[in-house]
Structure 1
Amino acid sequence: MDLHQLRHFLALAEHGNFTRAAQASFITQSAFSRSIQSLEHNLGCQLVERGVGGRGFTLTAQGQALRGRARDIIEAMKVLRHDILTGDHAPAPLLSLGCGPAPAARLVPAALAEFIDRHRDTRIDLRVDAPDILKGYLDAGEIEFLIADLRHIRADQGYITQALRPRRFQLFCRRHHPLHTGQDRSFNALADYPLACSSLPTELQALLAERAGRQALPINLQCKHTDVLVQMVTGSDLIGIATEDVVSQWVAQGTVERLSFVDAPQGLLIGGTCFGVVYRVDQRLSVRAVEAIETIARVDASYVATDLGMTQRFALAI
């Protein structure tokens, strides 16, 4: 089977007549018929069912199926020829990485924005998911590295980890929220409102559940994308929980208000998350991946905690 045979078959299907199709293909009718027969022989099936006495024809089921596919094949060959002649055949560099919901809120977008400005030819495959799922992608070779809470990833000798700065979590609400403007600023008042977060360390989940007097954490919404989270918070009495760098950004924009309590438990003040970069020892990083990790580390280094003593109090477990 070759492209000439496919073009002849499409001409036959379009004109509905062997004579007119042969004329449109600029070959004799006998040569045209042999081309169609040769195509049927190569495919091992009948494409055309000829009428009695050689008058007229109909496409068989296989012929109908080939009609659409042949058009796609010829069009793809045109694109391939154009790409080769114009030098567009080289694939664009690909950067594949994963990150947890917390670093996806601010750190990773800021770093990738800076990275893509320097490498505009690079395609980026970014996967936002839970750390254990990201680790599966990493082990399967689907991503080159990931950024997530290092305490939630079991990294043995087959992995390299690069710790970033720790961040604690903060509570926030919409402007003029009853809890923010009211007299009751006790931590226990949280039990009267729904809660939402993108991700939360296990110890903070237990802390909130204990202070709310419940066995299970009273979280009404958990999502991977903080833009969904902040939209719901600003449109309801929902209380949001996010890392302090993200909350600080929204507070500066006037979108939300930071919640603080006179009796906030010490566990909330010191509990947080430690972002880190993880990649496999046996999988060599591409040049783009190395540059992306360097960019992430540089952007992360510009982060300043609102509580300067937090880094000394935070127990980093890797």
Structure 2
Amino acid sequence: MDIRWLEDFVALAALRNFTRAAEFRNLSQAAFSRRIQSLEHWVGTGLVVKGSQPVRLTEAGVQFLEEARTSVDRLLEARAAIRSGQFEVMSQIRLAMPNVLARSDFRQVLGRIGRGKQSFSVLVGTTAEVTARYLAGDADILLVHTCPALPLPEGLAAQDRLVLRADRFLPYTARAAGDFGFPGTPKAPFPLIAYARRAYFAELFEHVLSRAGQPAAYRMAVQCDMSDVLKEVIVAGHGVGWLPESAVDPASAALIAPVGGPAWEVPLEICAFRPPRGTGPQVDALWRALQGGG
């Protein structure tokens, strides 16, 4: 059964004339009549009283008309909704960013663009996860931390890169707990709130230790790959842990404070990446907005 047959039948019932209904449907009268006959064959009974002028519906035709109208309306509404949804998905800008930046910087990205000007799909996870998804083509733009002193993560060197702002990676402790004797001694190591080995910030932590100029002695207290979780553990007073400064909101800053001084810090950059080849006008417009060009 073809939805056009239902539309033909609804038009015929409204206009009550084969010639006018055929013209309305932009068909020859012969083709229009064949489609009405096909519909009657599908229903299994006559819908139109043969030879009547003006056209009259049979009892079955009257019964079927309301169902035909309802079916046509529902099908057209469903098609419109699907097409609209598909357009919305296709027109969305796909952003990928780690959880820590989703909390601290996504609002700033939206602020640069203005309300209601774009539609976004946001992919979050660990730095390693979202970088891999971006490089696999699952996102149009990637936002991540990078460290000027370290090579870019594999695969990102060939991408277009935009520095959004500076950040720092530094150790924090709960104000109420003290500094735990940081940076510790072999006999009195400080409790470390650390990143899991696979985390990007774990590599940064090792870089900090290598350039600090003095040894650090610690015991592992808690290990996780999410900055938000580590921050809560630090706030609770379980030890010293490194965080991006951007992750420390005003409420958290009232409860935790940096320790150790500049020797234990490393500068970071919050960067946006996109493929070097064009990705469409909407992504280009966002990129210009991130550059400050509107």
State the match for 1:309 in structure 2: none
RMSD: 4.5
Q: CA 1:295–1:174 in 2, change beyond 3 Å: closer, same or farther?
A: farther
Name the CA distance, whole Å, in 2 between partners of 1:238 and 1:223.
Answer: 16
Deviations 1:131-175 (A, max 9, x none): 554444334432112122343423577422223444221223444
Runs (4 or more) in structure 1 with deviation over 6 Å come to 71-74
State the match for 1:200 in structure 2: 201
State the match for 2:9 in structure 1: none
Deviations 1:90-146 (A, max 9, x none): 83431112123443342333222443xx24153211122345544443344321121
Does the residue aligned with 1:112 lie in a helix, a strand or coil? Answer: helix
Q: CA 1:121–1:129 in 2, change beyond 3 Å: closer, same or farther?
A: same
Does the residue aligned with 1:285 lie in a helix, a strand or coil? Answer: coil
Q: CA 1:292–1:241 in 2, change beyond 3 Å: closer, same or farther?
A: farther
Is 1:220 matched up with 2:223? yes
What letter matches 2:133 in structure 1?
Y
Does the residue aligned with 1:258 lie in a helix, a strand or coil? Answer: strand
Is 1:187 matched up with 2:183? yes
State the match for 1:21 in structure 2: none
Equivalent pair of 1:195/1:239 in contact (CA under 8 Å):
yes
Identity, in percent, stands at 12
Q: CA 1:131–1:234 in 2, change beyond 3 Å: closer, same or farther?
A: closer
- Please state how far the C-alpha of 1:79 moved relative to its aligned partner: 3.4
Equivalent pair of 1:170/1:258 in contact (CA under 8 Å):
no
Name the CA distance, whole Å, in 1 between partners of 2:235 and 2:131.
Answer: 33
Is 1:142 matched up with 2:147? no
Structure of larger gyration radius: 2
What letter matches 2:226 in structure 1?
C
Equivalent pair of 2:194/2:241 in contact (CA under 8 Å):
yes
Name the CA distance, whole Å, in 2 between partners of 1:257 and 1:72.
Answer: 63
What letter matches 1:103 in structure 2?
L
Name the CA distance, whole Å, in 1 between partners of 2:100 and 2:268.
Answer: 9
State the match for 2:77 in structure 1: 78
Name the CA distance, whole Å, in 1 between partners of 2:116 and 2:96.
Answer: 20
Name the CA distance, whole Å, in 2 between partners of 1:101 and 1:76.
Answer: 41
What letter matches 1:106 in structure 2?
S
Deviations 1:165-221 (A, max 9, x none): 442212234442x235xxx5431179443515585151423656972357xx76522
State the match for 1:279 in structure 2: 274
What letter matches 1:110 in structure 2?
Q
Unaligned runs of 5+ in 1: 7-30, 39-70, 299-318
Name the CA distance, whole Å, in 2 between partners of 1:109 and 1:173.
Answer: 27
Q: CA 1:211–1:81 in 2, change beyond 3 Å: closer, same or farther?
A: closer
State the match for 1:107 in structure 2: 105
Q: CA 1:33–1:199 in 2, change beyond 3 Å: closer, same or farther?
A: same
Does the residue aligned with 2:248 lie in a helix, a strand or coil? Answer: helix
State the match for 1:2 in structure 2: 2
Does the residue aligned with 1:179 lie in a helix, a strand or coil? Answer: coil
Aligned positions, number: 224
- After TM superposition, the score normalised by the length of structure 1 is 0.53
Is 1:128 matched up with 2:131? no
Name the CA distance, whole Å, in 2 between partners of 1:157 and 1:230.
Answer: 30
Deviations 1:19-74 (A, max 9, x none): xxxxxxxxxxxx99953679xxxxxxxxxxxxxxxxxxxxxxxxxxxxxxxx9998
- After TM superposition, the score normalised by the length of structure 2 is 0.56
State the match for 2:65 in structure 1: none
State the match for 1:234 in structure 2: 235
The 5 Å alignment of 1:1-318 reads 1-3=1-3, 34-35=41-42, 75=74, 77-80=76-79, 91-92=87-88, 93-115=91-113, 118-120=114-116, 122-150=118-146, 151-155=151-155, 158-176=158-176, 178-180=177-179, 185-188=181-184, 191-196=189-194, 199-200=200-201, 202-205=203-206, 211-212=216-217, 219-223=222-226, 226=228, 228-235=229-236, 237=238, 239-247=240-248, 249-251=250-252, 254=254, 256-261=255-260, 266=263, 268-269=264-265, 271-282=266-277, 284-298=278-292
State the match for 1:58 in structure 2: none
Name the CA distance, whole Å, in 1 between partners of 2:39 and 2:95.
Answer: 53
Unaligned runs of 5+ in 2: 7-37, 46-69
Equivalent pair of 1:101/1:130 in contact (CA under 8 Å):
yes
Name the CA distance, whole Å, in 2 between partners of 1:279 and 1:139.
Answer: 10
Name the CA distance, whole Å, in 1 between partners of 2:119 and 2:4.
Answer: 36
Equivalent pair of 1:161/1:276 in contact (CA under 8 Å):
yes
Equivalent pair of 2:126/2:226 in contact (CA under 8 Å):
no
